[in-house]
Amino acid sequence: MKTRKILFKTFNTLWVGVFGLIFLTPLVWMISSSLKHGSEIFAVPFTFFGDKILWANYEEVWFNKNVPFWRLYWNSIKIAAVGTFFQLIISSMAGYSLAKINFKGKDLVFIIILITMMIPAQALIIPRYVLFDKLELYGTHWALILPSMFNVTSIFLLRQFYAGLPTDLMEAARIDGANHYGIWWKVMLPLTKTPMVTVVVLAFINCWNEYLNPLIFITKYDLYTVAMGIQYFLYSTDEVNWMMAAASSAIVPIVVLFLFTQKYFVESIATSGVKG
């Protein structure tokens, strides 16, 4: 009976494993192509490495004269970091308010936010474009950072977590003379580390992968993000190996970030899970 079970499990691992590897194939192909000479990419039969490992493709992408990836990286990291920071603070405050403070009108606010959640950001880009144009934010990174500051999912996640924290803690702090500001910052906020990491990882990945907003609001090469960089290489050259070096440069750091934060990431999706 036991050997049968092991055999069965091994058999299952094999066929599910085949599918798992198929899922990695496009990414493996991408990395392989990014290290080859252009003429080797579509050669039959396929080999993972070409005659030589051409790091020169990455050199071209990272030090391109119009859109060097080191600058795109800097831009994307800056936008994602600032946007994520504000999203975290704003969501944490709102979550605390909605979970732990009693006041009139809070339910109404909650319902209105819920209803507008159904409306996709894609339907709002036109008024936002007009607004940013009038405020002279068009063509700046603020046009990308501002929309990422408000995220219903993050507010939800933190609100749920705050709601689960015992009120006794607050009472004790209150007797010591603390007000809500002190209670939030000193007592409650430090207890929400787990959901905060989740919010940070989700927000960072969303900002990093964002495509529509930079496409609309960013015009200058100097301000391009990583996603725009891939598009630049797609439109401006025929060198597939360069394009694949650009695509690899965009995906690899996010995968590494994921591997380190897997636990938080998976949990958050399992409980609340939303992307963009």
Partner 1 sequence: MNKRKEAIAGWVFLSPALFVFVTLIFFPVIASILLSFTKWNFLSGFDGIKWVGFDNFVKLFKRDRDFKTALRNTIIYAVTTVPVSIVFALIAAYMLNTKVYLKKFLRMCFFIPYISSMVALYAVCKFLFGLKGPINQIVQMFGGEAMKWLTSSSLCRIPIISVVVYAGIGFSLIVYMAALQNVPSELYEAAKIDGANELSAFFKITLPLISPTTFYLLVVRMIAAFKIFTSANILKYGSNSSGLVNIVYDEAFGNYAFGYASSVAWVLVGLILAVTLVQMWGQKKWVHY
Residues from 34 through 53 that contact partner 1 (CB under 8 A)? 41-42, 44, 46
Rounded to 10 deg, the angle between the 69-100 and 193-209 helix axes is 140
Stretch that binds partner 1, among 55-63, 64-72, 189-197, 224-232 (CB under 8 A): 224-232
| Sign of the dihedral through C-alpha 209, 215, 217, 220 | positive
| 77 near partner 1 (CB under 8 A) | no
Is the Cβ of residue 166 or residue 181 nearer to partner 1 in the bound state?
181
Taking the complex as a whole, the smallest distance from the CB of residue 139 to partner 1 amounts, in Å, to: 13
| 147 near partner 1 (CB under 8 A) | yes
Taking the complex as a whole, the smallest distance from the CB of residue 25 to partner 1 amounts, in Å, to: 9
| 175 near partner 1 (CB under 8 A) | no
Residues in contact with 21: Cβ distance below 8 Å, sequence separation at least 6, in sequence order: none
| 157 near partner 1 (CB under 8 A) | no
DSSP string for residues in 54-109: -THHHHHHHT-SSS-HHHHHHHHHHHHHHHHHHHHHHHHHHHHHHHH---TTHHHH
Longest dimension (CA), the chain: 76
Taking the complex as a whole, the smallest distance from the CB of residue 204 to partner 1 amounts, in Å, to: 11
Selected from 149, 188, 196, 200, the binder of partner 1 by CB under 8 A is: 149
Phi, psi of 10 (to 5 degrees): -65, -45
Taking the complex as a whole, the smallest distance from the CB of residue 123 to partner 1 amounts, in Å, to: 4
| 243 near partner 1 (CB under 8 A) | yes
Task: Give per-residue burial for 116-148: e unless 16+ CB within 10 Å, then b.
Answer: eeeeeeeeebeebeeebeeeebbebbbbbbbbb
Selected from 2, 4, 65, 104, the binder of partner 1 by CB under 8 A is: 104
**Burial of 196 (C-beta count, 10 Å sphere; 0-12/13-18/19+):** buried
Taking the complex as a whole, the smallest distance from the CB of residue 64 to partner 1 amounts, in Å, to: 16
| 166 near partner 1 (CB under 8 A) | no
Selected from 62, 137, 174, 237, the binder of partner 1 by CB under 8 A is: 174
Distance CA 221, CA 215 (A): 12
Taking the complex as a whole, the smallest distance from the CB of residue 88 to partner 1 amounts, in Å, to: 11
